[in-house]
A = this chain, B = another copy of it.
Amino acid sequence: MLLVADNLQITDPTIAAALASRNPEPVRALAKRCAAAGADAIDVNSGPLTRDPEAQMTFLVEAVRSATDLPLVIDTANPAAMEAGLRAAGPGTVINGFSLEPAKLNRILPLARAYDADIIGFLLTPRSHVPTDSTERLSLAVDLFQACQAAGVAPQRLIIDPVVVPLGWQDGNRQAREMVALLRQLPELLGFPVRTIAGLSNLTTGGGHRRQRLLLERTYLPMLAAAGLDMALLNIFHSDTVAVGRACRLLATDCVFTWEEVRP
């Protein structure tokens, strides 16, 4: 399981200011901290970038690239910004992401083919609603798969994000359990070992004290890992969650176990 840092966000005032003043240093510094904290990849969440999207995304990606060679995940709903990000970041970059929403199907998904890139597909309805049960989730997974085929994107490029919902929602813990079951079912449903990603921070959005949120994060992550999750998008500065994520690799993958690999 790869750990993808979700820390680089335009909603962070430091990053917003750096972008506005075109000062790469705060972006570089954050990217270096993510790498040092154990990130396997960094999500560059620029938001929609309504003004000057190409230049802004290019600035962000180049700032990160000048600090680290880690793979990047370009996280924007703006197709022009996405394309600029893919161009600036180079091969191995992941598109985050598309859904069955027509605008995404028409303008984001084709970029996976054009740039030969992995692409994250969200299990959301065409109107971007969270599905209500696992039947709907499975049906949406098939739709994403077929959308890839229709767009000439190899299904192996698809990384499904089942969209973790907050535990605080009325049926949040039922959905949390369904997510685990779904991760186990997807490869069989689609007939190949489709990769998956989950945004761990979503689980505790909107509630709880920091200690409560961290406890739930580090409890849920192994459940997802044991169900086959390939990539976890998380706050890479939550060091105990990261330690648990590393331990998941030892427990959920076919490595030769040695105590030396356990880094609490």
Interface residues of A (CB under 8 A from B): 167-168, 172-174, 176-177, 180, 207-209, 211-212, 214-216, 218-223, 225-227, 243-244, 247-248, 250-255, 257, 259, 262, 264
Q: How far is the CA of A173 from the CA of B251 in the complex (A)?
A: 6
Tell me whether B248 and A219 are in contact (CB under 8 A): yes
Tell me whether B172 and A257 are in contact (CB under 8 A): yes
Tell me whether B218 and A168 are in contact (CB under 8 A): no
26 A-B contact pairs sorted by A residue (CB < 8 Å): A167-B250, A168-B259, A173-B253, A173-B254, A173-B255, A173-B257, A174-B254, A176-B251, A177-B226, A177-B252, A207-B259, A208-B262, A211-B264, A212-B262, A215-B243, A215-B244, A216-B250, A216-B262, A219-B244, A219-B251, A220-B222, A220-B251, A221-B222, A223-B251, A223-B252, A226-B227
| Complex contacts, A216 vs chain B, CB 8 Å | 247, 250-251, 262
Q: How far is the CA of A20 from the CA of B95 in the complex (A)?
A: 68
User: In angstroms, how far is the closest chain B Cβ from the Cβ of A210?
Assistant: 9
Tell me whether A223 and B222 are in contact (CB under 8 A): yes
User: In angstroms, how far is the closest chain B Cβ from the Cβ of A244?
Assistant: 5
Q: How far is the CA of A93 from the CA of B216 in the complex (A)?
A: 32
Tell me whether B257 and A168 are in contact (CB under 8 A): yes
| Complex contacts, A264 vs chain B, CB 8 Å | 211-212, 214-215
| Complex contacts, A220 vs chain B, CB 8 Å | 222, 251
Q: How far is the CA of A120 from the CA of B157 in the complex (A)?
A: 46
Q: How far is the CA of A214 from the CA of B251 in the complex (A)?
A: 14
Cβ-closest chain B residue relative to A254: B174
| Complex contacts, A225 vs chain B, CB 8 Å | 223
User: In angstroms, how far is the closest chain B Cβ from the Cβ of A148?
Assistant: 29
Q: How far is the CA of A49 from the CA of B45 in the complex (A)?
A: 64
User: In angstroms, how far is the closest chain B Cβ from the Cβ of A79?
Assistant: 37
User: In angstroms, how far is the closest chain B Cβ from the Cβ of A117?
Assistant: 31
Tell me whether A251 and B177 are in contact (CB under 8 A): yes
| Complex contacts, A219 vs chain B, CB 8 Å | 222, 244, 247-248, 251
